[in-house]
């Protein structure tokens, strides 16, 4: 869950998964200039978006839907930043009596 006081840039830097307009992005990244690049599949069609820093800074957080509203060249989009959960890779230590 994202706090209202966070910025989208901060949320992106700290999230593991991203959803855009209801589609789970299989790849997203920030480049050297902090432009956001997003790729996902919609059926068999690959979709790509790019947002500039000024658009990222202008994004607004919707606390009701727990998502960010961002407007770019391709129109208005809803982003959901999520954290991934993973299983611990704890190896059991075997104790041998000598």
| Dihedral pair phi/psi, residue 55, rounded to 5° | -75, -35
pLDDT in tens, 62-88: 999 999 999 999 899 999 999 877 665
Is the full-model pTM beyond 0.75? yes
What Rg do the C-alpha atoms of the chain give, in angstroms?
A: 18
For the domain made up of 8-82, the CATH class stated in words is mainly beta
**How many Å apart are CA 14 and CA 82, to the nearest integer?**
9
Confidence of residue 90 (pLDDT cuts 50, 70, 90): low
Q: Are 20 and 40 in contact (CB under 8 A)?
A: yes
pLDDT in tens, 44-62: 999 999 999 999 999 999 9
Confidence of residue 35 (pLDDT cuts 50, 70, 90): very high
Which residues fall within 8 angstroms of residue 13, CB to CB, at 6 or more apart?
30
């Amino acid at each position: 869950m994202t706090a209202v006081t966070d910025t989208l840039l901060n949320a992106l830097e700290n999230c593991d998964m991203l959803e855009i307009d209801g589609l789970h992005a299989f790849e997203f990244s920030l480049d050297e200039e902090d432009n956001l690049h997003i790729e996902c599949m919609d059926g068999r069609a690959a979709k790509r978006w790019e947002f500039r820093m000024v658009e990222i800074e202008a994004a607004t957080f919707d606390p009701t839907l727990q998502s960010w509203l961002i407007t770019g060249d391709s129109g208005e989009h809803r982003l959901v930043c999520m954290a991934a959960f993973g299983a611990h890779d704890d190896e059991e230590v075997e104790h041998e009596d000598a």
